[in-house]
Amino acid sequence: MLSRALRCPRRTPAVSHSLVFACGNHNQSFPGNSQSSGRTASFGFKTVPEESKESLVKGVFDSVASKYDLMNDATSLGVHRLWKDTFVDSLKPGRKGPMRCIDVAGGTGDIALRILDYARENYADRETTVEVADINAQMLAEGVKRFKKTMYHYTPQISFHEANAQELSPSQFKDDTYDLYTIAFGIRNCTSIPAVLREAYRVLKPGATFACLEFSKVNNPLLNVLYDQYSFSVIPLLGTILAGDRDSYQYLVESIRKFPGQPEFAQMIRDAGFATGGDHDGGAWMDLWGGIASIHTGVKV
């Protein structure tokens, strides 16, 4: 099922589409400066007016959308696939019967596809549904293209919606609705993490699960040095060679370093009202590859 947004991906009434820079050029003047609130946000290692960040992030994903899946494989050497498999396996969608899921910042539908496949392959479940919500119409359009090649295309199991994680429309994404909320490699791109968590709490049913897969803090100092070297030299270079866009990949690497560490993020999840496990690996979060990425979960109480 496709929402109106994706039959006409460049125009929806809900989201403004004022793209703010030509692909890959992050050195433009910032939109919204004239009515600046004075608050700032990080955009990678840059500090920008808070109201500019959303447009800047949209610009990054406009720029990378058509090559996003290829670049994900290239920059992570395919490892993102393993992490996403682990993420979805850990949630066991469909185990307790069909679920209504929302995958926010769902991009090209990687997590949605895994959820549907997992439920079908393990529990013969063809009733679990996933609503993919993302702020970027071009990423969603890539997702629609990809789902056309799957058995889920034109079934009620999948739908795509252009929406901002920080302010999901309450008429479209109603209170106490979903059994599972997932967000993978998306929350660090949002201007306000607490606002995203508040919305996640609102739309989940009591007792339902919030699950976030995100880059995190590496625990081992040696691994950290190697990882830093790889991230800051290889990834922007691959961005230049494969996508002709160094700046976007530089931003992606920098945004990872600005994201809070595991205990700090777990506390933010609790502050939003979720119950989590204890403040350690295997409790509130599960580290993947020494903390390069981690899975945080919380239950709406």
Ligand X SMILES: C[S@@+](CC[C@H](N)C(=O)[O-])C[C@H]1O[C@@H](n2cnc3c(N)ncnc32)[C@H](O)[C@@H]1O
Does residue 298 bind ligand X (CB under 6 A)? no
Q: Which of 1, 13, 248, 244 is nearest to 137 (CA)?
A: 13
Closest Cα to residue 203, out of 300, 127, 292? 300
**Alpha-carbon gap, residue 142 to 68, rounded angstroms:** 9
Specify the residue, 51 or 134, whose C-beta has the smaller distance to ligand X. Answer: 134
166 binds ligand X (CB under 6 A): yes
Under rule CB under 6 A, residue 239 binds ligand X: no
Task: Work out how close the CB of 44 gets to ligand X at its nearest, in angstroms, rounded to a whole number.
Answer: 13
Among 52, 159, 164, 248, which residue sits at the site for ligand X (rule: CB under 6 A)? 164
Q: Which of 35, 26, 29, 28 is nearest to 57 (CA)?
A: 26
At 233 the three-state DSSP class reads helix
Taking the complex as a whole, the smallest distance from the CB of residue 195 to ligand X amounts, in Å, to 9
Task: Please tell me whether 112 is known to bind a ligand.
Answer: no
Are 101 and 180 contacting, i.e. CB atoms less than 8 angstroms apart? yes
Query: Which of positions 102-131 make contact with ligand X (CB under 6 A)?
Result: 105-107, 110-111
Q: Which is nearer to ligand X, 114 or 217 (CB)?
A: 114
Contacting ligand X (CB under 6 A), which of 116, 119, 184, 266? Answer: 184
Q: Residue from 128, 136, 209, 294 that binds ligand X (CB under 6 A)? A: 136
Known binding residue 40? Answer is no
Shortest gap between Cβ of 224 and ligand X (angstroms)? 21
- Of 20, 57, 204, 286, the one binding ligand X by CB under 6 A: 57
Pick from 237, 259, 258: which is nearest to 248 by CA?
237
Q: In this structure, what DSSP letter does residue 99 have?
A: -
What is the Cα–Cα distance from 227 to 78, expressed in whole angstroms? 15
Contacts of 171 by beta carbon, 8 Å cutoff, 6+ apart? none
Q: Residue 301 CA to chain centroid, in angstroms? A: 23
Instruction: Kindly state whether residue 186 participates in binding ligand X, applying the rule CB under 6 A.
Output: yes
Q: How far apart are CA 228 and CA 246, in angstroms?
A: 17
Tell whether residue 231 is a contact of ligand X (CB under 6 A). Answer: no
Residue 141 labelled as part of a binding site? no
Applying CB under 6 A, the span of 135-143, 198-206, 218-226, 239-247 interacting with ligand X comes to 135-143
How far is Cα 153 from Cα 146, in angstroms, rounded to an integer?
A: 9
Q: How far apart are CA 137 and CA 10, in angstroms?
A: 6
Residue 112 C-beta: closest distance to ligand X, Å: 9
Tokens of 135: 């702020």
What are the structure tokens assigned to 3, written together? 């929402």
The window from 17-25, 88-96, 160-168, 169-177 that contacts ligand X (CB under 6 A) reads: 160-168
Residue nearest to ligand X (CB): 107
Residues of this chain that bind ligand X (CB under 6 A): 54, 57, 61, 105-107, 110-111, 134-136, 139, 164-166, 184-186, 189-190
Binding residues for S-adenosyl-L-methionine: 108, 134, 164-165
Binding residues: 108, 134, 164-165
